[in-house]
Amino acid sequence: MAADLKIVPVILAGGTGTRLWPLSRQSLPKQFLSLVSDHTLYQDTLRRVAAPDLFHPPVVLTNADFRFFARRQAAELGIDATVVLEPVARDSGPAVLAAAAYVRERYGKDALVLALAADHAVKDPDAFVASVRTAAAVAASGQIVTFGIKPSAPSTAYGYIKLGDKLAEGGYQVARFVEKPDVETATRYVADGYLWNSGNFLFRAELLLSEGTAFVPKMVEAATQAVAGISEDIGFLTLGAEAFTAAPSQSIDFAIMERTKHAAVVEGDFGWSDIGAWNSVREVSPADADGNVTRGPVALMDSHNSYVYSDSTLVAGIGLENVAVVATDDAILVMPADRSQDVKALVTALRASHPRVVDEHLRMHRPWGTYETICRGERFHVKKIVVNPGGKLSLQKHHHRAEHWVVVKGTAEVTLGNDVFTLNENESTYLPFGSIHRLANPGRIPLELIEVQTGSYLGEDDIVRIEDVYSRV
Amino acid sequence: MAADLKIVPVILAGGTGTRLWPLSRQSLPKQFLSLVSDHTLYQDTLRRVAAPDLFHPPVVLTNADFRFFARRQAAELGIDATVVLEPVARDSGPAVLAAAAYVRERYGKDALVLALAADHAVKDPDAFVASVRTAAAVAASGQIVTFGIKPSAPSTAYGYIKLGDKLAEGGYQVARFVEKPDVETATRYVADGYLWNSGNFLFRAELLLSEGTAFVPKMVEAATQAVAGISEDIGFLTLGAEAFTAAPSQSIDFAIMERTKHAAVVEGDFGWSDIGAWNSVREVSPADADGNVTRGPVALMDSHNSYVYSDSTLVAGIGLENVAVVATDDAILVMPADRSQDVKALVTALRASHPRVVDEHLRMHRPWGTYETICRGERFHVKKIVVNPGGKLSLQKHHHRAEHWVVVKGTAEVTLGNDVFTLNENESTYLPFGSIHRLANPGRIPLELIEVQTGSYLGEDDIVRIEDVYSRV
């Protein structure tokens, strides 16, 4: 590789898994959660590719629902991410090809793209960067490089890669990709030196697109046209919807990697995991002397090799052996840790009976901050609202509810009808039924307020937005 | 027994067990909780002895902390209980002797006393009453009768009774009381026809006192003097404190039953349990086809023989076998069901690190109603307050906090300084630092209000009570 050719990290952050329920939910999936460190998985991914001598600023692919998470969590790290929105979900093939087309347009056809899942964990970021350097050299020589992970066990949760010829720049030609095996086959694969397929790639933008043109021409056509049709709104780029929607839905592995003759693999030994289920979270987290991993207020007696997470409620365990307990403020999961793969089926079963708790979090995230229900009754609803400094809710009204606001921290700027006034800590106001109002935080610290709604109908859909700085009208 | 001699039920309701934590806590122990039916254990006990042809109105022995539970939960059933308060805890000996002395004074020396624990469960109340009738006949003939339970298993959690000679009125002389055995000994006891000692008794008041005078004269002296010194306040009777405090602390079994020659046992087969631990709760509750007992929002997949309780948060379980999960709003317990006996040790260990959650409930009960914290921050605290119809909080002030009140249901009568005014649903008021105020519910339905406290110190002890209808000044 040319010493001055920096890599463009492309972070794929649009996924919505349910295997880590009740923490990961459709409205806030696992990449944006802090599961194995104080940062979110997405943030840790951004941090791994932040060295300015090696990497350009990141390009993040996600969807409209997650755009504010993607921007805010990058901003918290001081990273200026370009956030590109997929108008519809089309699996990883069209997304990675669109990213390649976008990078080619912005950085030229020889630009190197490092396509990373936003929701994987890596224990050793230095070893990761070393592997990336090797992979970049291999990619510059005309290969599409995948990262192969030395198996720590005959896992049946991953696909495997059979190694071919050794390459001069490091790594190997890929002899064959194989599907997730049964445990017997997996044991043989491990003995034969196969590697886990991590699903992260490094390639020259032009090479991926030309190989794509050979195997999936419609997909490449859709992706390049979607990039040509990009529109911008409050700093977010959205791929052309009509073009992108026309792309066939297929994984990049199936569309290109399993077909191209230019597939190479660089071996990585950096403590990788795709955090695919709760037992993976336990495996990548530091355990105590009894083998237990705990987060939050947890007290264990006579327990071993268990994973216990709690948002806020004390979890006490007696005699737990290989048990996983995940306690959020509105749902608690208990199971033997080796049943982690069954969470997906549980969530599917729960969706009919408990849709809210399956797909939404108690704390709802909005571009201006968060809100959460803290108490609910027949004709009232109490919320805690946090508005970020500079945040501004939409100008709105409600037909069926009145609201009492009590500021408990910071400063609120309240618009009520034609009046604009300030409320400080320990001050309150009343918003009658039907009044046009707006809440904003003009201060430098978060504004916290308690909202007591009363009325006969208190659904979130009783909101008439008149004006909104986040383009949500 | 004379056909017109009715029995006086004496309910012992002063206990504070921790084996059913996190539901049972010092501030609201298990007798006042609904664990195996829609009524509390105390209420079910009252209901078992409510037939007016057989029973006088009940006398309840408890302590000052529980006096309002004892009265209110009886009143909910339309039962007018005489609530007698023990000024200090002195085990069951002095309590039962004081009850005997009280009943003798009120109903005469031949009065029959049925002393029942408030926290036991009985599946078949009719069979229980049939046993009581037999026991009354035996007691009238000059015996102190204990109820012996036919063992359903060689339990090591109960003491046993060896049967002696059969009595003409039914039942047997007691040959011997034996301590809780190991499992081998228990198996032999069961084979030999021993019965469980339920710790519930029926006796003539005079006989218990005269036998007490023979074996524990100081205890009888203390108990009778404590009854002579009874004082009354807002309808509660309190035993004379100096006299009762002088009583030696000892169980009635040890003080009298194991020594008297007049101990008889009537066999009971009415589905009795002392609900001594979570596995007992499971055993006395109806199970589903998989052997699971659940209460509250619970979803189980592929689970068997488990007990799952939840106050309000959804508990989802996968692959649970013989597991107990008890989820309250501020503490969650998870364990194999057969570790139920270890909860006591867990609670002892937790008391140092988590005193509040060990001893107090999130919802605090007061004579006028309840309150609970729904949200807490650095300088604010949000509570939901429910005031019963006719309930009236003390006239009070706070040095360090201001309060905002928003009525969300019912009608509040607010005293603020020299003003008295009414707040209806969707109305609010503000109580500045240091203002003298009072809240009351003049209406016919419960008053619900949201209180937002702000200030630099928000402890419960920042309350200056100026006047109180419940004698708490």
CATH code, domain carrying A31: 3.90.550.10
**B1 pLDDT more than 80:** no
A39-A40-A44-A46 Cα dihedral, nearest 10 degrees: -120
- In a domain, residue B204? The reply is yes
* Interval B250-259: pLDDT, tens: 999 999 999 9
Domain holding A396: CATH number? 2.60.120.10
Contact list, B327 vs chain A (CB under 8 Å): 313, 327, 332
Contact list, A451 vs chain B (CB under 8 Å): none
Q: Cβ-count burial of A166 within 10 angstroms (0-12 exposed, 13-18 middle, 19+ buried)?
A: exposed
**B17 pLDDT more than 90:** no
Q: Are residues B328 and B418 in the same domain?
A: no
Contact (CB<8Å) A299/B346: yes
In this prediction, residue B471 carries a pLDDT of: 84
The domain boundary residue, chosen from B300, B323, B353: B353
* Interval A233-258: pLDDT, tens: 999 999 999 999 999 999 999 999 99
Distances (CA, A) of B396 to B233, B375, B401, B405: 21, 23, 12, 15
The domain boundary residue, chosen from B353, B371, B405: B353
Mean pLDDT of B208-233: 98
The pLDDT confidence band at residue A447, using thresholds 50, 70 and 90, is very high
Are the C-beta atoms of B433 and B399 separated by less than 8 Å?
Answer: yes
φ, ψ at B419 (rounded to 5°): -95, 145
Is A214 in CB contact (< 8 Å) with chain B?
A: no
In this prediction, residue A64 carries a pLDDT of: 93
The pLDDT confidence band at residue A3, using thresholds 50, 70 and 90, is very low
Q: Which position has the token pair 């290109």?
A: A256
- In a domain, residue B188? The reply is yes
Q: Are residues A304 and A246 in the same domain?
A: no
Q: Are residues A36 and A67 in the same domain?
A: yes
User: Bridge partners of B147?
Assistant: B266
Is A350 in CB contact (< 8 Å) with chain B?
A: yes
Q: Are residues A140 and A220 in the same domain?
A: yes
In this prediction, residue B5 carries a pLDDT of: 74
The residue of chain B with its CA nearest to that of A409 is: B379
- In a domain, residue B27? The reply is yes
- In a domain, residue B1? The reply is no
Query: Looking at CA atoms only, how far is residue B266 from chain A in angstroms?
Result: 38
User: Which of A310, A374, A377 shows the shortest C-beta gap to B448?
Assistant: A377
Q: Are residues A222 and A121 in the same domain?
A: yes
Contact list, B430 vs chain A (CB under 8 Å): 428
Q: Are residues B301 and B210 in the same domain?
A: no
Are the C-beta atoms of B396 and B465 separated by less than 8 Å?
Answer: yes
**B82 pLDDT more than 80:** yes
Q: Are residues B325 and B292 in the same domain?
A: yes
Contact list, A360 vs chain B (CB under 8 Å): none
User: Bridge partners of A448?
Assistant: A386, A409
Mean pLDDT of B372-394: 93
Q: Which of B158, B120, B115 is nearest to B36 (CA)?
A: B120
Q: Which position has the token pair 């867990």?
A: B346
* Interval A331-368: pLDDT, tens: 999 999 999 999 999 999 999 999 989 988 889 889 99
- Domains of chain A: total: 3
Q: Are residues B101 and B239 in the same domain?
A: yes
Mean pLDDT of A134-140: 96
Q: Are residues B121 and B238 in the same domain?
A: yes
- In a domain, residue A473? The reply is no
The span from the CA of A213 to the CA of B107, in Å, is 101
In this prediction, residue B3 carries a pLDDT of: 43
Q: Are residues B32 and B77 in the same domain?
A: yes
Is A363 in CB contact (< 8 Å) with chain B?
A: no
Query: Looking at CA atoms only, how far is residue A386 from chain B in angstroms?
Result: 12
- Residues contacting residue A333 through CB under 8 Å, at least 6 positions apart: A21, A22, A278, A324, A325, A326, A327, A343, A346, B316, B317, B318
In this prediction, residue B470 carries a pLDDT of: 87
- In a domain, residue A134? The reply is yes
Type of residue found at B156? T
Asked if the peptide bond before residue B87 counts as cis, ω within 30 degrees of 0, the response is no
Contact list, B406 vs chain A (CB under 8 Å): 404, 452, 454
The pLDDT confidence band at residue B227, using thresholds 50, 70 and 90, is very high
The domain boundary residue, chosen from B217, B250, B273: B273
The pLDDT confidence band at residue B456, using thresholds 50, 70 and 90, is confident
- From chain A residues 305-334, the ones with a CB under 8 A of any chain B CB are 310, 313-320, 323, 325, 327, 329-334
- From chain B residues 410-469, the ones with a CB under 8 A of any chain A CB are 425-426, 428, 430, 448, 450, 452, 454-455
Query: Looking at CA atoms only, how far is residue A292 from chain B in angstroms?
Result: 15
Contact (CB<8Å) B301/A349: yes
Is A377 in CB contact (< 8 Å) with chain B?
A: yes
Q: Are residues B193 and B296 in the same domain?
A: no
Q: Which of A422, A426, A405 is nearest to B455 (CA)?
A: A426
Mean pLDDT of B335-360: 94
- In a domain, residue A50? The reply is yes
Contact (CB<8Å) A452/B402: no
Mean pLDDT of B172-200: 95
* Summary mean pLDDT of chain B: 94
Range of the domain at A172: 7-273
Mean pLDDT of B127-132: 97
Contact (CB<8Å) B334/A345: no
Is B376 in CB contact (< 8 Å) with chain A?
A: no
Q: Are residues A184 and A241 in the same domain?
A: yes
- In a domain, residue A283? The reply is no
